[in-house]
Structure formats: C-alpha cells, structure tokens
Amino acid sequence: MRIKYTISLIFIVAIVIIEKENNIISKVSDKLTPKQTPQTPLQYNVSAHLVLKHNGSYSAFSKLDLAFVHPRRRLENFTEQVEGRGGGKKHILLMATTRTGSSFVGEFFNQQGANMFYLFEPLWHVEKMLTLETGGTNATASAKAYRDVLRQLFLCDFALMETFINPLPVDHVTAALFRRESSSSLCVEPVCTPFVKKVFERYHCKARRCGPLNLTLASESCRQKEHRAIKTVRVRQLETLRPLTEDPRLDVRFIQLVRDPRAVLASRMVAFSAKYKNWKKWAVDGEVPIDDDEVKKLKGNCDNIRVSAEAGLKQPYWLRGRYMLVRYEDIARFPMQKAAEMYTFAGIPFTPQVKEWILKNTQASKEASGVYSTQKNSSEQVEKWRFSIPFKLAQVVQKVCGPTMRLFGYKFVNDETTLTDKTISLLEEKMFNFY
C-alpha cells in the first residue's frame, strides 16, 4: 500500500512538473527563432526542453524524458551561476554618437591583445541597407535590427549581418566590410589572407594587405577569443538593448560615451561639411532659425542621448552593474585613469599593450592628428572646439540641448569672451557611476 502511495505521489509530481515546463516551452518557442552560423545551419539544442527539427521548428522531448531532465536543468543552472553568465566571456558595447571620440576610445579595447575580438561599426551596414530599402530610417525597425545583429555578433555569428552587406557576400566572403582595417582581429592570420587581385590592394590592416574577408574564418577567430567588444554610433536608446542583458549566453557591459554637444557640432561642421552647410552658412552671415529641421535634429539627438543616460544612471535591475557613463573630456584629461576604470568595469585585464598604446597616442604630433585620426594630443584636443564655433551657434546648442548639458556637467557661457578663455573651465567635476 505504501509503495502504491509513493508511486502515485511521484506520478502527480511529475505531471505538475510537466505542465509547468510545457508552459515554459510554449512561451520560449514563441520567442526563439533558429540561428545559423556563416558555415552551416545550427544543430544544437536551444535548451534542455527544446530540440531543433529539420524544418526549423522547435519540439518538446517526450513528457517522461522531460520529467527526469528537470533535475539536470537545475544542476546546469547552478553551474552557470557559479561560472558566470556567458561562460566567463565578457561582451562590451561602446555606445556613442558621431564626433564624440568613439574611434579613439574604441582603440582602448581594440589594442587589448590576443584575447579580444573587436568590431568597428558593424551596424553601418544595417543602417545603410534599411535606408536604401525604406528611403529613410524607421526607428522601431532599426532598433530591432541593431539589437538582433549585435546579439549574433557577440555570439560570433555573422550570418545575420551578411544579409545587410551590399553586395551580398559570396560563399561568406566579402570585400565590402566597412572599415575592416579598424578592427585588429580582422587583420591577423588566419582572417587576413593575402590579396588576390589588384583591386583589393587598398585593404590595408596594420601595414598588411589583406584579401577579401572570409566571414567563416572571422567567426571561428571570434570564438577563440575570450572577450568581444563592439563600437557603434547608431544605437539611439539603451532601453532597446534590454533583451541582451536577459540572454544567459551573454555578459554585456554598456559604456556610453558622451561629449559637450557644442564640441560635437563644431567637429561635425568640419568632418561633415556638406551635411552641415546650413550651420556653416548661419555661422557666417545669419541668425539661426530655431524651428529649422537641422536645429530640431540637433535637439532630437541631444534628447536621445540624455534619455538613454538617464535610464542607465537610474540603475534599474536589468542594468545593475552593467552601465557606465564616461565623458570624452575626462578621457582626454586622464586617459590612463579612465581606461583603467573602463577595464575594471568590464571585468577584463588592463594589458600592457593598451597602456603602451595610450601613452603613444595621447601625445601625438600635430601632423598625426587628422579629422579621423585616433592619435590625439588629448590635453589640447579637449579645448580646441572653443575657438572654432561662433558664440551664436554655441548659444543655439545651449538652448536646445540645455537639459543634456546640465545632466553631464557642461557649463553654459554667456559671452564670447568666456567661450574662448581657456583659463575658465566649462566642465563640472562630476561622478556618474556606482558599479
């Protein structure tokens, strides 16, 4: 009698477990889509409860198997917690906007050494393709595409990004990857293969000439690296990346880089002269129409940066310990200190290679500091904009970007004398991070 009672109890418990797990399966199945690498379609179990069919759908194991696999899942979850998310690998996303020094700061991770896989602006392809297809950019569609591509790249899967490269790669090989030479990981063997045709001689990587990029080899190289970092200026809102923090395969750290919006405008007027011709015209011979589309765009950019930073600084549970705000001005003044802080935040070793690169590239000669150069005399660069932007344009920026400037600690100026007086600091001393 006692044996029958025990068997019945086990049966009831098993049924309860099955029903609960089936509910989980239903929810997960609705969200998951099969992934693939550039090499072959993916052939792995998404979880202990799901198996990938040949037709691309997910199916549950038998109920009996599921009942007994539950204890094993608990053990796997415990192991994952002990070992850390992402299997100990760190994933760093450097978020910024154009002309904030992001290429320079990105080099802090690009130069880390053999255990870092760094990508420079892979979302450029996504933005370009979406713009071509729609005639503009749809914020919602773009945010989802950016998030999905970033997830796959952090997992060393280039298949999704391939669909955005134009022209489409042939057999996973492309000569069209944007700024490949800015990613050291794509400029070493076996990813850097000798060029075949003269047309490819222009693809230089650290004084090496590489042939077209084999994304299969890039994927394999990525998997061999301990950590992965991506630099992008295209993500507008931190909130859209929340699913990345909830993916157990990833251990993501977000570093948001900001800069005085007056300095950003001054730099863009030089780097993107054609796009900023209205601003250049206003600087010379006219008042700035505050309701002009270009001014509204500037305000929108500032608002996006502020909203994203406010979300990060509030440290919601999904971002706790995962968000860092850093000002370009602080990096320019204290490059070694700030780099060390970023590495501590990311949880990866601050290598001698990085320290050497920083020492060499924060004391660059005037000749080496071009518009797109990562070599900067940092102590001079941080103040240079104050002598290139007219006071009336600085006033416009202060008017439309005031809340953003106040959040980040950028002081307002009331006259041209103050603007160009380098003895007067326009930077408040502020601490932002509590990680």
Q: Are residues 28 and 115 in the same domain?
A: no
Q: How confident is the model at residue 341 (pLDDT cuts 50, 70, 90)?
A: very high
Q: Are residues 106 and 218 in the same domain?
A: yes
Calpha distance 328→259 (Å, rounded) = 5
What is the model's pLDDT at position 64?
Answer: 39
Higher per-residue confidence, 229 vs 70: 229
- 191 CB-near residues (< 8 Å, 6+ apart): 185, 210, 213, 214, 217, 218, 221
Last residue of a domain, one of 376, 393, 416: 376
Domain final position from 64, 83, 102: 83
More confident residue, 205 or 341: 341
The residue ranking higher by pLDDT, 203 or 329, is 329
Residues 345, 93: Cα–Cα separation, whole Å: 12
Question: Can you give the pLDDT at residue 213?
Answer: 95
94 and 164 in a single domain? The answer is yes
Q: Which of 59, 83, 107 is the last residue of a domain?
A: 83
CB 411 within 8 A of CB 428: yes
Question: Is 51 domain-assigned?
Answer: yes
- Beta-bridge mates of residue 174: 213
151 is written with which tokens?
């997830």
Q: What are the tens digits of pLDDT across the range 165-179? A: 999 999 999 999 999
Question: Is 387 within a domain?
Answer: no
Is the domain of 243 the same as that of 359? yes
Q: Is the pLDDT of residue 21 over 60?
A: no
12 and 38 in a common domain: yes
pLDDT of 53 above 90: no
Same domain? For 318 and 228 the reply is yes
**423-432 long-range contacts, Cβ below 8 Å, gap at least 24?**
426/260, 426/386, 427/260, 427/327, 427/329, 432/313, 432/324, 432/325, 432/326
C-alpha 25/C-alpha 138 separation (Å) is 32
Helix (H, G, I), strand (E, B), or coil: what is residue 206? Answer: coil
102 and 233 co-located in one domain: yes
* Ordered DSSP codes for 152-201: HHHTT--HHHHTTSSSPPBTTEES--TTGGG-GGGSSTTTSPBP-SGGGG
Residue 221 pLDDT exceeds 80? yes
Domain that holds residue 20: 2-83
- Does a structural domain hold residue 264? no
90-95/227-232 β-pairing:
parallel
In a domain, residue 169? The reply is: yes
> Residue 401 has which token pair?
């970007």
Task: Determine which of 45-49, 84-88, 364-368, 429-433 has the lowest per-residue pLDDT on average.
Answer: 45-49
* C-alpha–C-alpha distance, residues 353 and 111, integer Å: 6
Segment holding 50, helix H or strand E: strand 50-52
Q: Both 105 and 218 in a single domain?
A: yes
3-class secondary structure, 372: coil
Lowest-confidence pick of 18-27, 181-190, 208-217, 260-269: 18-27
Task: Indicate if 187 and 231 belong to the same structural domain.
Answer: yes
Is the predicted pLDDT of residue 84 greater than 60, yes or no? no
Q: Are residues 29 and 73 in the same domain?
A: yes
pLDDT over 80 (residue 18):
no
Kindly state whether residues 22 and 111 are assigned to the same domain.
Answer: no
Average pLDDT over the chain, rounded to whole?
81
- Least confident among 198-212, 289-303, 323-337: 198-212
Portion of the chain with pLDDT greater than 70, in percent = 72
When divided into structural domains, the chain yields a total of 2
pLDDT in tens, 99-153: 999 999 999 999 998 899 999 999 999 999 998 877 666 889 999 999 999 999 9
Q: For 355-396, how does the pLDDT look when each residue is reduced to its tens digit (9 = 90+)?
A: 999 999 987 544 444 444 454 556 677 899 999 999 999 999
Measure Cα distances from 358 to 124, 141, 355 in Å.
26, 38, 5
Strands 227-232 and 213-214 come out as unpaired
**Phi, psi (rounded to 5 degrees) for 136:** -175, -170
Residue 143 lies in a domain: yes
Q: Which two tokens stand for residue 50?
A: 């799901």
pLDDT at 270: 94
Q: Does some domain include residue 435?
A: no
CATH number, position 348: 3.40.50
Q: Structure pTM? A: 0.77
- Written in H, E and C, the secondary structure of 276-314 is CHHHHHHHHHCCCCCCCHHHHHHHHHHHHHHHHHHHHHC
Q: Is residue 276 part of a domain?
A: no
CA triple 407-411-416, angle to 5 deg: 145
Side chain identity, residue 417: T
Residue 413 in any domain: the answer is no
| pLDDT at 60 (0 to 100) | 36
State the average pLDDT over residues 77-90: 58
Strands (E), 248-391: 252-258, 323-327
Same domain, 372 and 245: yes
Look up tokens 């896989």; give the residue. Answer: 117
pLDDT of residue 195: 63
